[in-house]
């Protein structure tokens, strides 16, 4: 019908496994050069260059220049959310070796999704914030309570400043591994950054996976009653 979105165009682009792999590697919001994308997807750099050019033309990626180098990132959080939504519909891919199996377990346990926390860690933290009464689901967003604003301020997050961005402060993002929502939006990003700054979470290697540190186990238990396995 006239006026409908042409979903076939982005779907056709992501139907290619290499392009899907490139986009997936960028879901955490980072900008990566073609050489690193080639290493992560297991294809030649020239092949990556061809694919990222198509993704940029389609508006799924943007390019940034740093000196003589080019770096590619997702065009925005909407792209990341769309990729996560597709992942929720997709069948699981069988790991090809022990390394992929270990990486898969780490990704499911905790990861970044365009700056906010996802996986079991992200969903559990979202549940804990709701159980504490810090926020409550209201349709397609979360409303942060007065108690939540005060408690988050004690953690070092000034909610009022985030609330001036004009975007929804906090919203649910369907988690493709847990099949339940985790916290997204400016508050989700601020919370992930604060937990990393406190040393409560840390990245595993150079990928998207994150884990809770021993200090973070204590801190999260005391702050929000979250027990981390």
Kindly write down the DSSP assignment for every residue of 146-185, as one continuous string.
HHHHHHHHHHT--HHHHTTSSS-SSEEEE-TTTSSEEEEH
Each domain of the chain, given as residue ranges in start order, spans: 8-75, 102-224
Cα–Cα distance for residue pair 100/103, rounded to 1 Å: 5
The CATH code of the domain at 8-75 is 1.10.10.10
Structure tokens at 54: 């198509």
Question: Using 50, 70 and 90 to split pLDDT, how confident is the model at 101?
Answer: confident
Among residues 48, 45, 44, the alpha carbon closest in space to that of 61 is found at: 48
Residues 112-159 pLDDT 10s: 988 899 999 999 999 999 999 999 999 999 999 999 999 999 999 999
Residues 178-212 pLDDT 10s: 989 999 999 999 999 999 999 999 999 877 899 99
Helix (H) or strand (E) segment spanning residue 116: strand 116-118
What would the mean pLDDT of 90-100 be, rounded to a whole number?
74
The SS3 of residue 131 is helix
Reported pTM:
0.78
Residues 204, 210 contacting (CB under 8 angstroms): yes
CB atoms within 10 A of CB 211: 15
What would the mean pLDDT of 47-55 be, rounded to a whole number?
95
């Amino acid at each position: 019908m006239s006026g409908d979105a042409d979903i076939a165009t982005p779907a056709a682009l992501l139907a290619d496994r290499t392009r899907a792999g490139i986009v997936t590697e960028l879901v955490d919001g980072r900008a990566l050069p073609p050489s690193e994308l080639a290493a992560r997807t297991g294809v030649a750099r020239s092949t990556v260059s061809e694919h990222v050019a198509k993704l940029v033309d389609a508006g799924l990626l943007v390019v940034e220049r740093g000196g003589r180098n080019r770096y590619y990132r997702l065009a925005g959080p909407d792209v990341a959310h769309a990729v996560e939504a597709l992942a929720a519909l997709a069948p699981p891919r069988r790991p090809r070796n022990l390394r992929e199996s270990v990486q898969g377990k780490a990704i499911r346990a905790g990861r970044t999704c365009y700056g906010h926390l996802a996986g079991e860690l992200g969903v559990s933290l979202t549940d804990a914030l709701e159980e504490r009464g810090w926020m409550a689901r209201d349709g397609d967003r979360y409303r942060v309570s007065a108690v939540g604003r005060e408690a988050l301020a004690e953690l070092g997050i000034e909610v009022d400043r985030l609330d001036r961005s004009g975007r929804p402060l906090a919203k649910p993002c369907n988690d493709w591994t847990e099949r339940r929502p985790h916290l997204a939006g400016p508050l989700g990003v601020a919370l992930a950054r604060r937990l990393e700054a406190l040393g409560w979470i840390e990245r595993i290697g150079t990928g998207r996976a994150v884990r809770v540190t021993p200090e973070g186990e204590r801190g999260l238990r005391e702050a929000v009653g979250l027990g981390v396995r």
